[in-house]
Structure 1
Amino acid sequence: MNDIQSSTPVQQGVKPSTEDNLLYIAIKYKVAIISTLVLLAALGAGAFFWVRYQQSNELDAALQLSRIAPLLDRGEFKAAINGTDKTAGLKKIADDYAGKYMGTPSGNMANLLLANALYSMGNFDAALEVFKSVSINNDDLAAAALAGAGDCYVNKNQLALAAESYQDASSKAESKPLKAQYLAHAANSFQQINQLKKASELYTKIIADYPGTTAAAVAQRSLWQLPSNL
């Protein structure tokens, strides 16, 4: 979500306005924009069929994913990952329908569920790889993937990386309780590797920014346990 900076000089410390950025884009990419508009006009009919194609893919992915849900509910993670004689598994659904640009919502959800299933089986290296590949539009679900990566790092005893991932999850999440919870996990990770000042700062932030949450109560108790002269 980086702003594109205009080549026009601006006052130090003042962010260019949206209008400035749009004008800059229009000037710099004028030829490309015109070419794209011509191409889109020529492909108008094709775009309609492309949308229909993506809708069809989403329906297929959603149907396949619904067949896997009972396996996940029963904790049959290996079968959920690999599938059965009659159903495709999470890995195949994710392979076929997940992706940053071409993926469908249900396909991307299958990828997140695949990571969770691998984690539940104790395969932290594979789970971490999948968590890091998850691309999903819902911010809370995207944050859950980042937090899942943090959980994997904890189990691999890479607590500095865990703390970083939890902080990224907190920044991404929309839900305030989730934001607070992920920050608490980050603070706890810092505390475990004896980075007590960082832990204290995060605990203090949770108490100030998210009062009334469970994480705030946990942060307060944890803060009392830290040395007072940090």
Structure 2
Amino acid sequence: MSTENANDIVETSPSPNREDGGGFSASTIRTYIIIAGVIVVAIAGIFWWNNQQDQREAEATVALSRIRPLFEAGELQKALTADSVPNIGDEKVVGLQYIADEYGGTDAGKTASLMAGNCLLVLGKASEARPYFEKAQGSDAIVVEIGALKGLAACQEFDGDYSGAAELYEKAGDRGTKTGLEDRCYLYAGLAYEKAGNKEKAGQLFTKVAEKFEGTESAAGAKSGLARLGMAID
């Protein structure tokens, strides 16, 4: 096919995006400009979001550091709400619940959620604690995630659902492999299964803890559990 014929084909089947005189049509150019603008805005939005997240993480971390001493001192109600806690300079000290609610998307916010859940659980408010443990469960920090699972398990125990609690404790143990936390999780799972009347499952977990973590407090507790069940380690 000659070049002339080829050109004829192009001219007889013009692209709808080109004007007769060649080049893109005005409507297509406007479309490309709009698309380019959207991309630029999206990229700017990503940078803005990352910057905002960094700023919020920093704010949450500072807020958590100010209220944490009360939590560690066992002043749980004050730690939750920061009521009657004096300002630091001109800045108000906020409680764990505020940090968890306001900064829930940050790592520090999820840690605050775990701490708030623990406070509420100890204060006998399992139903109020549960949503905070659920928030903390989404943390990227494995120790916070495990703590959240244990907290949810404790809430199940509080409600008398020992089988549900046992499953959550066992899940926490599985997630906690090589963290140094799994022995207690499996022990608590065994105890919960025992309370639920599942002797077989309780025995399996007690045996696992006694054999794998020999010499630890958890192993001693597991051996006591086996004795209660009338089982012995081979």
What are the ranges of 5 or more consecutive residues in structure 1 without an aligned counterpart? 1-38
TM-score by length of 1: 0.73
User: In the TM superposition, what is the alpha-carbon distance from 1:176 to its structure 2 partner?
Assistant: 4.9
TM-score by length of 2: 0.72
* Alignment deviations for residues 103-154 of structure 1 (CA, whole Å, 9 cap, x no partner): 1111111111110111121112211232123221111220111111212222
Counterpart of 2:191 in structure 1: which amino acid?
Answer: N
Aligned residue in 1 for 2:5: none
* Alignment deviations for residues 194-220 of structure 1 (CA, whole Å, 9 cap, x no partner): 211111111122233333432223212
1:178 maps to 2:184: no
Aligned residue in 2 for 1:137: 140
Of 101, 114, 128, the match for 2:116: 114
Tell me if structure 1 keeps the 8 A contact 2:110–2:135. Answer: no
Tell me if structure 1 keeps the 8 A contact 2:56–2:103. Answer: yes
- CA distance in 2 between counterparts of 1:212 and 1:176 reads 17
| Change in 2 beyond 3 A, CA 1:97/1:205 | same
* Identity across the alignment (%): 30
Aligned residue in 1 for 2:60: 61
- CA distance in 1 between counterparts of 2:228 and 2:39 reads 62
1:192 maps to 2:195: yes
* Alignment deviations for residues 165-215 of structure 1 (CA, whole Å, 9 cap, x no partner): 111111111445411111111111111232111111111222333334322
Of 63, 85, 90, the match for 2:96: 90
- CA distance in 1 between counterparts of 2:40 and 2:210 reads 54
| Change in 2 beyond 3 A, CA 1:197/1:88 | same
Which range moved further: 71-80 or 39-48? 39-48
| Change in 2 beyond 3 A, CA 1:146/1:80 | same
| Change in 2 beyond 3 A, CA 1:128/1:188 | same
Aligned residue in 2 for 1:52: 51
Tell me if structure 1 keeps the 8 A contact 2:203–2:231. Answer: no
- CA distance in 2 between counterparts of 1:55 and 1:228 reads 54
User: In the TM superposition, what is the alpha-carbon distance from 1:228 to its structure 2 partner?
Assistant: 4.3
Counterpart of 2:225 in structure 1: which amino acid?
Answer: S
- CA distance in 2 between counterparts of 1:71 and 1:158 reads 31
What are the ranges of 5 or more consecutive residues in structure 2 without an aligned counterpart? 1-37, 85-91
**How many residue pairs were aligned?**
188
User: In the TM superposition, what is the alpha-carbon distance from 1:59 to its structure 2 partner?
Assistant: 0.8
User: In the TM superposition, what is the alpha-carbon distance from 1:52 to its structure 2 partner?
Assistant: 1.6
Aligned residue in 2 for 1:161: 164
Q: CA RMSD in A?
A: 2.4
- CA distance in 1 between counterparts of 2:229 and 2:143 reads 31
Aligned residue in 2 for 1:18: none
- CA distance in 2 between counterparts of 1:210 and 1:176 reads 13
Counterpart of 1:53 in structure 2: which amino acid?
Answer: Q
User: In the TM superposition, what is the alpha-carbon distance from 1:89 to its structure 2 partner?
Assistant: 1.6
